[in-house]
Structure 1
Amino acid sequence: MRETDRRIRVRRVGLIPDDARVRHFDELDEDAQAAVSELAGRPRTGRETGDLDDGDVVKFTDYYQIRAR
């Protein structure tokens, strides 16, 4: 598991970039599932998890793109 000080934001997207890695929620580890559940549709950030990278798209209740900074 990667240890960084980066934060992630999860934002809903209508169009999925061609180069995005698309993951289904049930494929994620527990930490990533908790982060997506907590942050999806909310204007806040959370700690980066080792299972999600900047630009990944997660199919949850909708499609959500991960942004890491």
Structure 2
Amino acid sequence: MRLRRTGRVPSDARVRHYDELDEATQAAVAELADRPRTAPKSGDLEDGDVVKFTEYYRIRAR
């Protein structure tokens, strides 16, 4: 999965807050935020989800 900062949240997106995620997913989000890296897909997040962390990040899972 990858994270992309987004300025707008689509009305149909599922928004997850960082503190709602399990510890492993929180660690992955913190590692990937603002970095061009990938991590294994998380069971907590799906493609198109938006995570509210320091900014809003859209999840890309492929």
Superposition TM-score, scaled by structure 2 size: 0.96
- Give the structure with the higher percent strand: 1
Question: Among the aligned pairs, what percent are the same residue?
Answer: 71
Count of matched residue pairs: 62
Alignment gaps of 5+ in structure 2: none
- Which residue pairs with 2:3 in the alignment? 10
- Larger Rg: 1 or 2? 1
Report the aligned-residue RMSD.
0.6
- Which residue pairs with 2:57 in the alignment? 64
User: Given the alignment of the two structures, is residue 54 of structure 1 paired with residue 42 of structure 2, yes or no?
Assistant: no
Superposition TM-score, scaled by structure 1 size: 0.86
User: SS of 1:37's equivalent?
Assistant: helix
Alignment gaps of 5+ in structure 1: 1-7
